[in-house]
């Protein structure tokens, strides 16, 4: 190779090496953008364990409500044990205790049942489901109405409170302590 060409090639290589890389301003810009993305995404990642646990209880209470409705249709009464529902839900998990309150029996007929998920952890909300007997006004047919409620405040032993159905409306959540999630 000719010496002039070698010199020009070396100058070109030195110049290329000096121009490669990122400037401090570019690196700072990238760090700021990454910081903003992390600040936006981090709260949802930190909240995801609470959401999953709450979803478990919501799903179980909703399933218990539907199973109570089916059980009433088949047996003419609500059940007082979780096992009789045939759902495979255990009465105690590490996060919740599942119970059933059979409600009041009037004239040998049980009028409602309350399914509860009582929280065992301070960061989890309690849940409650209520199934009431009711009458369809147009046809006077007896049917069941259900609601699922979530306690507004989390805490150990917390459950959501429900309000009884009336002749014209299905059961509801106590607006002071609970919020409605599902009505069937």
pLDDT (tens digit, 9 = 90+) per residue, 119-178? 888 778 788 888 887 777 677 777 778 888 888 777 766 666 666 666 556 677 777 666
Q: Which residue's structure tokens are 């205790």?
A: 97
Question: Across the chain, what does the average pLDDT equal?
Answer: 76
Q: How many C-beta neighbours within 10 Å does residue 130 have?
A: 29
In a domain, 3, yes or no: no
In a domain, 166, yes or no: yes
Query: Which CA distances in Å does 73 have to 54, 77, 78?
Result: 29, 8, 9
Q: Provide CB contacts within 8 A for 46, sequence distance 6+.
A: none
Count of domains for the chain: 1
Cα-atom radius of gyration of the chain, to the nearest Å?
Answer: 31
Do residues 134 and 101 lie in contact, with contact meaning Cβ atoms separated by under 8 Å? no
Instruction: Supply the range of the domain harboring residue 68.
Output: 40-183
Q: Looking at per-residue confidence, does 45 or 78 come out higher?
A: 78
Tell me the two tokens of residue 150: 């979530």
Is the per-residue pLDDT at 56 higher than 90? no
- CA dist., res. 102 & res. 81, Å (int): 9
In a domain, 151, yes or no: yes
In a domain, 15, yes or no: no
In a domain, 91, yes or no: yes
Note the pTM of the prediction, 2 decimals: 0.65
In a domain, 22, yes or no: no
Q: Which residue's structure tokens are 């539907």?
A: 66
**According to the model, what pLDDT value does residue 29 have?**
92
In a domain, 8, yes or no: no
In a domain, 71, yes or no: yes
């Amino acid at each position: 190779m000719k010496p002039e060409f070698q010199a020009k090639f070396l100058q070109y290589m030195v110049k290329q090496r000096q121009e490669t890389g990122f400037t401090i301003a570019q690196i700072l810009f990238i760090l700021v953008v990454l910081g903003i993305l992390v600040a936006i995404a981090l709260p949802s990642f930190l909240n995801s364990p609470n959401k999953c646990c709450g979803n478990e209880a919501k799903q179980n209470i909703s399933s218990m409500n539907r199973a109570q409705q089916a059980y009433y249709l088949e047996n003419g009464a609500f059940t007082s044990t979780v096992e009789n529902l045939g759902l495979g839900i255990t009465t105690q998990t590490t996060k919740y205790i599942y119970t059933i309150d059979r409600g009041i029996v009037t004239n040998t007929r049980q009028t409602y049942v309350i399914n509860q998920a009582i929280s065992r952890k301070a960061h989890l909300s309690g849940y409650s489901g209520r199934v009431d007997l009711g009458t369809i006004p147009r046809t006077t047919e007896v049917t069941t109405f259900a609601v699922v409620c979530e306690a507004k405040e989390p805490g150990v032993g917390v459950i959501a409170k429900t309000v009884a159905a009336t002749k014209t409306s299905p059961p509801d959540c106590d607006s002071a302590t609970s919020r409605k999630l599902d009505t069937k």
